[in-house]
Amino acid sequence: MGRAESPEGEMSTQDPLDLWSRLDGEAEPLQDLGWYHGNLTRHAAEALLLSNGRDGSYLLRDSNEKTGLYSLSVRAKDSVKHFHVEYTGYSLKFGFNEFSSVKDFVKHFANQPLIGSETGTLIVLKHPYPRKVEEPSIYESVRVHTAMQTGRTENDLVPTAPSTWKTRWFTLQRNELKYFKDQMSPEPIRILNLTECSAVQFDYSQERVNCFCLVFPFRTFYLCAKTGVEADEWIKILRWKLSQIRKQLDQGDSTVRSRSFIFK
């Protein structure tokens, strides 16, 4: 495959994606890849892969560094790693390999390559994350929607200094979520009545992975689990508990769960 040139013999200044789409018929345009997500941001890619992906899930997106540079975002066990993919004008470079066509590039990923990051993490690229995902027709009902302050504008939306995270031991019993200073403490620091909780959800605003939050009328509590699996398990059981409360069917009387979290 030859270098793309303008009629005068100089390198074309077209968008790299346009150059790829002009290749011969056996190579599909890069923008037609099902796992190419265009200008998806780094933060959005991390949120997407951490909440919906699994080990080895990956997607390709535009890099904001320069034209012709892309980022391969890959879900590792508890984090998301990012790797450069460079379009040189006539080939794609990824890791130690160079591909003369999109077809060869895709074939490489179809063989589930193993890559290693600078931190020593080894990841098998097994699950391309699709750009288009069929959306379920079921939506959550809005149960709480109110302005906590009035008279403020977007200029007031300035990030505040982060609070100090503390490790606390949590237990879930009946409709109460209790947290203690540690596992051996006889008395809880606080008891949260889950009948007052309006939502439990993943949270990506704390610059930490494996975070989730509990929304109460008086405060939002942020918790950080050790692993994504642990966070997911707690979210599921807390959501189940809330659904039971709403249906007034909660008749359990035993401790359902106990665990230590980083908390603020």
The pLDDT of residue 203 is above 70: yes
Count other C-beta atoms under 10 Å from residue 42's C-beta: 14
Closest by CA position to 49, among listed 5, 98, 82 = 82
Count other C-beta atoms under 10 Å from residue 28's C-beta: 16
CA distance 137 to 210: 27
Residue matched to tokens 């997607």: 59
Tokens standing for residue 91: 């080939």
Confidence category of residue 21, pLDDT binned at 50, 70, 90: very low
Q: What letter represents residue 156's amino acid?
A: D
pLDDT score of 144: 53
Contact 130, 48 (CB under 8 A): no
The pLDDT of residue 27 is above 60: no
CA distance 237 to 43: 27
The pLDDT of residue 50 is above 80: yes
Mean pLDDT value of segment 12-35? 55
Confidence category of residue 219, pLDDT binned at 50, 70, 90: confident
Closest by CA position to 198, among listed 221, 227, 171 = 221
Contact 214, 205 (CB under 8 A): no
Contact 185, 260 (CB under 8 A): no
What percent of the chain stands above pLDDT 90?
15
Contact 127, 57 (CB under 8 A): yes
Q: pLDDT tens-digit profile of 140-185?
A: 555 554 544 555 555 555 544 445 778 888 888 878 888 888 888 8
Mean pLDDT value of segment 23-31? 56
Residue 55: burial class (beta carbons within 10 Å; 0-12, 13-18, 19+): middle
Ranges 20-29, 191-200, 206-215, 227-236: which has the least confidence: 20-29
3-state secondary structure 23-57: CCCCCCCHHHCCCECCCCCHHHHHHHHHHHCCCCE
Q: Name the strands in the sheet holding 57-62, side by side, starting at the edge strand that comes first in the sequence.
A: 97-99, 92-94, 80-87, 69-75, 57-62, 127-128
Q: pLDDT tens-digit profile of 89-140?
A: 888 999 889 998 888 999 999 999 998 877 777 889 999 999 886 655 555 5
Mean pLDDT value of segment 25-48? 80
CA distance 42 to 7: 37
pLDDT score of 241: 85
Closest by CA position to 53, among listed 121, 108, 130 = 130
Q: What letter represents residue 11's amino acid?
A: M
